[in-house]
Amino acid sequence: MIQYQRAVVDGISLFYREAGPKGAPSILLLHGFPTSSHMFRNMIPALGNRYHVVAPDMPGFGFSDAPNRKAFSYTFEQLAYIMNGFTEKIGLERYAIYVFDYGAPVGLRLAVAHPERITAIISQNGNAYEEGLSEGWNPIQRYWKDPNAENRAALRNFLTPETTKWQYIHGVQDVSLVAPEAYELDSALLARPGNDEIQLDLFLDYASNVALYPKFQEYFRSRRPPLLAVWGNKDPFFLPPGAEAFKRDNPNAEVRFFDTGHFAVETHHEEIVATINDFLGRKLTVVNGTRKTA
């Protein structure tokens, strides 16, 4: 059974989905752009058979609050700060992170700040290497280099319903497997008054994530967390070399590619859940009644 709940962190009401026994090993699912915890709707009940699963909507996304930009700074550092507060508010002490797209720089900030809390990392098209960035990032990178009004306006095309749908179906072999309510919900939430400016602020701040790639990579080298990359190999934004690169810094990292696009869980959630169950089943062991990394 999935429970739909709210937690308040620094005055911000955060919506989240939760399933599975609270005594089981926990997995924190972190969504990306332009979606929300809704993207995990099929995975949560499947993972909830074995794990305590929690999937929050970050501020400005899904059904969480979207504070005014004058009162809240939409940066990835701030999103990570709120997500850290969220884990503490609901009592997540140790947990694996499943990170996708924007969820990767948020989750990896949590891991770097509190490595003792992280039992494993599952990255689904969640990048941490420059070779993983495709040419699809070129307009955003131009904005990083010259954050003027013209370059900002040029990015509004990323916020249209047409582009949102394209992100879901690009590279998918059978588009009838992609539920239309997924991209329609994202489009409706993007269309909320003021949300466009929130997303443009985050486009600009994504440069801070690339600047942190060396720090994330050092974390992989020094801490060697159990790490699994599950990747849609036809992702137009995050390329397969970004998945393979995890093995350079963490030789024990495991990489699995699926013949699909950016939103791999829309078409391959059963295969991805099976891969996660196998991976965590091998990497987490029970010691004195407590789950610890193998």
268 belongs to the catalytic site: no
Helix (H) / strand (E) element for 118: namely strand 118-124
* Closest among 91, 83, 90 to 57, alpha carbons compared: 83
H helical segments located in the chain? 43-47, 76-90, 103-113, 138-145, 149-153, 161-169, 180-190, 195-223, 240-244, 246-249, 264-283
Contact present, 232 and 258 (Cβ < 8 Å): yes
Per annotation, catalytic residue among 38, 262, 268, 269: 262
Residues in contact with 92: Cβ distance below 8 Å, sequence separation at least 6, in sequence order? 26, 28, 54, 117
Token pair of 279 as six digits: 């991976």
Contact present, 253 and 128 (Cβ < 8 Å): no
Catalytic positions? 262
